[in-house]
């Protein structure tokens, strides 16, 4: 069954500086299956975040339709967890209160909240930092808190918008491996936005390559290299070559058009 | 519209309306404290990070929960900043009002001793005014520190202690 169906979705923004409408996403069609790990790959400014925000329900498509598990997306909902590019934790709550924030909204008592959060705090490797505030942790640790928060919601779908973009190479690699392990364990559907070809190919079970603005899906392929993925394997390099030539192709056509 | 009028200039009207007693002073203190708190609260609410709003709605917050679990705590630092300004200006206005419109209080004592040329009383009165002002500011600072605990590590103030 299709978990996420994106049908003819177009999004135009009004650009006030130039007083005209700007097309950010142009007739995107994409069907994402249950348990897929889809990487949306594209250059910055191509409309990846816009597309993700529409799946999350933060923004409405100008035209077209997005369905998650058969129901139309109208507004944000706890069945779609979001991990933001900048970790958006509540600065006034410590880790042990930030992770189970949605349980607080549901009226679950503090003791039970903290208990249920603990296993997810352990899962992302933050045991011992329960009493720390976001300002007392590094960017990578905050990002882990954001991931634990999304996981604890136990959503059908997790949407991630370049969550590792601000991390150093070493931390990024560790987090990518950890995310894959988590996904293999809990088997939710993940839509992961990235501008890095390597990242998309390390993570995705499926890769959707977007064009420059206005964003369209240029190519979309399943990628089932066994995990953990070795970035030096020929099969990985073949896929990388394929994606890179796609991007290069597009760069020449858009230059010719310009 | 009322905000640009300095609260002290309300003294004559306050006396006309409320007579010579505590009530004009209370009215003035209210005027002096209300606007700093209001302006700072509005500022605090407008400058909430949009992504925090999105994060809360993604976790299923309804409007009321949103107000109490996001807007209020996010605006607290600004509200406290307003409160601190308000306490300072309230104290200034209290003394000012006591000099003119009230027949008691340190302001009254100060003005009275000046009037009767009791300069030996003027300095102690001034010192007590300063001391009381300092104490009220110290109290609000302490309260701020214990409630805004989460800000301690990122602010310059926090690094001191
Ligand atoms: N709120 C907005 N108002 C106007 N234009 C916007 C808005 N959000 C995004 N855009 C425009 O839409 C395009 C796509 O943005 P975005 O989805 O953030 O790109 P990406 O995430 O791929 O870097 C950009 O050109 C950007 O300027
Ligand atoms: Mg983006």
**How far apart (Å, rounded) are the C-alpha atoms in residues A179 and A124?**
9
The reply to whether residue A104 touches residue B57, judged by beta carbons under 8 angstroms, is no
Sheet holding A189-194, edge to edge: A80-83, A157-161, A189-194, A37-41, A206-210, A217-222
CB burial of A106-115 (b: ≥16 within 10 Å; e: otherwise) equals eeeeeeebbe
What's the token pair of residue B152? 């301690």
Residues of B in contact with A105 (CB under 8 A): 56, 59-62, 65, 69
Q: Give which of A206, A213, A215, A214 is closest to A243, Cα–Cα.
A: A206
Q: How confident is the model at residue A121 (pLDDT cuts 50, 70, 90)?
A: very high
Instruction: For residue A217, report the phi and psi dihedrals to the nearest 5 degrees.
Output: -85, 115
> Among all chains, which residue has been given the structure tokens 């329900």?
A57
pLDDT digits (tens, 9 = 90+) for A148-197: 999 999 999 999 999 998 888 888 898 899 899 989 988 899 999 999 99
Our answer on whether the CB atom of A58 is closer than 6 Å to any ligand 1 atom is: no
Structure tokens given for A159: 């949407």
**In which band, very low, low, confident or very high, does the pLDDT at B104 lie, cut at 50, 70 and 90?**
confident
Rounded Cα–Cα distance for residues B87 and A109 (Å): 36
Q: What is the A49 CA–ligand 2 centroid distance (Å)? A: 4
For ligand 1, mutation pick of A22, A24, A82, A200 (most atoms within 8 Å of CB)? A24
pLDDT in tens, A84-101: 988 899 999 999 999 999
pLDDT, position A1: 57
Average pLDDT for chain B: 87
Reported confidence tier of residue B12, pLDDT bands at 50, 70, 90: confident
Q: What is the pLDDT of residues A129-153, one digit of tens each?
A: 999 999 999 988 999 999 999 999 9
pLDDT band at B120 (very low <50, low <70, confident <90, very high): confident
Domain range summary for chain B, segments of one domain joined by +: 7-151
Beta carbons of B51 and A104 less than 8 Å apart: no
Q: Do A133 and B153 touch (CB under 8 A)?
A: yes
- Encoding tokens for residue A100? 């189970």
High-pLDDT (> 90) share of chain A, %: 69
Q: Is there a contact between B56 and A88 (Cβ–Cβ < 8 Å)?
A: no
User: Does ligand 1 lie within 6 Å of residue A211's CB atom?
Assistant: no
pLDDT exceeds cutoff 80 at B154: no
Please give the backbone phi and psi of residue A74, each rounded to the nearest 5 degrees, phi first: -115, -35
Cis previous bond, A35, omega within 30? no
- The two structure tokens encoding residue B133: 């002002």
Give the nearest ligand 1 atom to A16 CA. Answer: 4
CB atoms B60 and A84 under 8 Å: no
Contacts with A94 from chain B: Cβ below 8 Å:
150
How many CA atoms are closer than 13 Å to the CA of A239, on its beta-carbon side?
26
Among all chains, which residue has been given the structure tokens 């003027």? Answer: B122
Residue A117 near residue A100 (C-beta atoms within 8 A)? yes
Which residues are CB-neighbours of A213 under 8 A, at least 6 positions away?
A: A22, A23, A24, A45, A46, A47
- pLDDT tens, position by position, B33-53: 998 899 999 999 999 999 999
Count, residues in chain B: 161
Task: Take atom 16 of ligand 1 and give the residue whose Cα is closest.
Answer: A47
Lowest mean pLDDT among A28-42, A44-58, A206-220, B95-109: B95-109
Task: Give the per-residue pLDDT at B158.
Answer: 55
Q: What is the mean pLDDT of chain A?
A: 91
Residue A49 beta carbon below 6 angstroms from any ligand 1 atom: yes
Q: Do A135 and B151 touch (CB under 8 A)?
A: yes
Tell me how far apart the alpha carbons of residues A157 and B55 are, in angstroms, rounded to a whole number.
15
- Torsion-angle region of B138 (φ positive above 0: left; ψ -120 to 50: alpha; else: beta): alpha
Most confident of A183-187, A208-212, B99-103, B109-113: A208-212
- DSSP calls for chain A: -EEEEEEEEEEEEEETTTTEEEEEEEEEEEEEETT-EEEEE--TTSSHHHHHHHHHTSS--SEEEEEETTEE--S--TTEEEE-SS----TTS-HHHHTTHHHHHTT--HHHHHHHHHHHHHHTT-TT-TT--GGGS-HHHHHHHHHHHHHHT--SEEEEESTTTTS-HHHHHHHHHHHHHHHHHH--EEEEEES-HHHHHHH-SEEEEEPSSSB-EEEEEE----SS--TTSHHHHHHHHHHHHHHHHHHHHHHHH-
Question: Any chain A CB within 8 A of the CB of B145?
Answer: no
* Side-chain-side CA neighbours of residue B101 (13 Å): 27
Instruction: Report pTM.
Output: 0.85
Tell me, what DSSP letter sits at residue B68?
A: I
Q: Is B143 on the interface with A (CB under 8 A)?
A: no
Q: In the CATH hierarchy, which top-level class contains the domain B7-151? A: mainly alpha
CATH topology of domain A2-80+154-257: Rossmann fold (3.40.50)
Nearest CB among A78, A84, A92 relative to B60 is that of: A78
Cα–Cα distance for residue pair A8/B46, rounded to 1 Å: 35
Q: For residue B160, what pLDDT is reported?
A: 45
In a 13 Å sphere around the CA of B17, the CA atoms on its Cβ side amount to 12
ipTM of this complex:
0.86
Using a pLDDT cut of 90, give the percent of chain B over it. 37
Atom of ligand 1 nearest to the CA of A25: 14
Beta-strand pair A157-161/A189-194: parallel
Contacts 24+ apart (CB under 8 A), B155-160: none
């Amino acid at each position: 069954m299709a978990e996420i169906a994106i049908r003819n979705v177009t999004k135009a923004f009004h650009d006030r500086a130039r007083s005209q409408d700007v097309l950010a996403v142009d007739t995107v069609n994409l069907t994402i299956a249950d348990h897929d790990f889809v990487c949306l790959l594209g250059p910055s400014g191509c409309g990846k975040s816009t597309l993700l925000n529409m799946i999350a329900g933060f923004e409405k498509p100008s035209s077209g339709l997005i369905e998650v598990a058969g129901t139309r997306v109208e507004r944000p909902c706890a069945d779609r967890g979001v991990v933001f590019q900048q970790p958006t934790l509540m600065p006034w709550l410590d880790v042990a209160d930030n992770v189970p924030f949605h349980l607080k909204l549901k009226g679950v008592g503090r003791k039970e909240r903290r208990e249920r959060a603990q296993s997810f705090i352990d899962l992302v490797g933050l045991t011992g930092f329960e009493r720390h505030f976001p300002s007392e942790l590094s960017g990578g640790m905050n990002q882990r808190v954001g991931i634990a928060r999304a996981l604890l919601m136990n959503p059908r779908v997790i949407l991630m918008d370049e969550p590792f973009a601000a991390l150093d190479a070493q931390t990024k690699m560790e987090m990518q491996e950890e995310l894959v392990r988590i996904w293999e364990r809990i088997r939710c559907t993940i839509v992961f936005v990235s501008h890095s070809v390597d990242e998309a190919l390390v993570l995705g079970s499926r890769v959707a390559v977007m064009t420059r603005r206005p964003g369209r899906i240029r190519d979309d392929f399943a990628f089932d290299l066994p995990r953990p993925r070795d970035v030096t394997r020929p099969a990985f390099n073949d896929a990388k070559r394929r994606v890179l030539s796609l991007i290069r192709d597009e760069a020449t056509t858009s230059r010719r058009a310009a | 519209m009322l905000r640009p009028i300095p609260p002290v200039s309300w003294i004559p009207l306050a006396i006309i309306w409320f007579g010579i007693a505590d009530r004009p002073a209370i009215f003035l203190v209210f005027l002096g404290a209300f606007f700093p708190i209001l302006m700072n609260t509005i500022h605090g609410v407008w400058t909430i990070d949009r992504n925090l709003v999105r994060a809360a709605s993604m976790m299923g917050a309804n409007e009321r929960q949103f107000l109490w679990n996001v807007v209020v705590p996010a605006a607290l630092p600004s509200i406290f900043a307003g409160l601190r300004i308000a306490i300072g200006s309230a104290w200034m206005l209290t003394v000012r009002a006591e000099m003119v419109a009230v027949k008691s209080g340190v302001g009254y004592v100060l003005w009275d001793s000046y009037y009767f040329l009791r300069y030996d009383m003027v300095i102690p009165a001034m010192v007590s005014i300063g001391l009381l002002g300092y104490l009220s500011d110290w109290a609000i600072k302490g309260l701020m520190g214990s409630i805004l605990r989460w800000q301690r590590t990122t602010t310059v103030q926090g690094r001191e202690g």
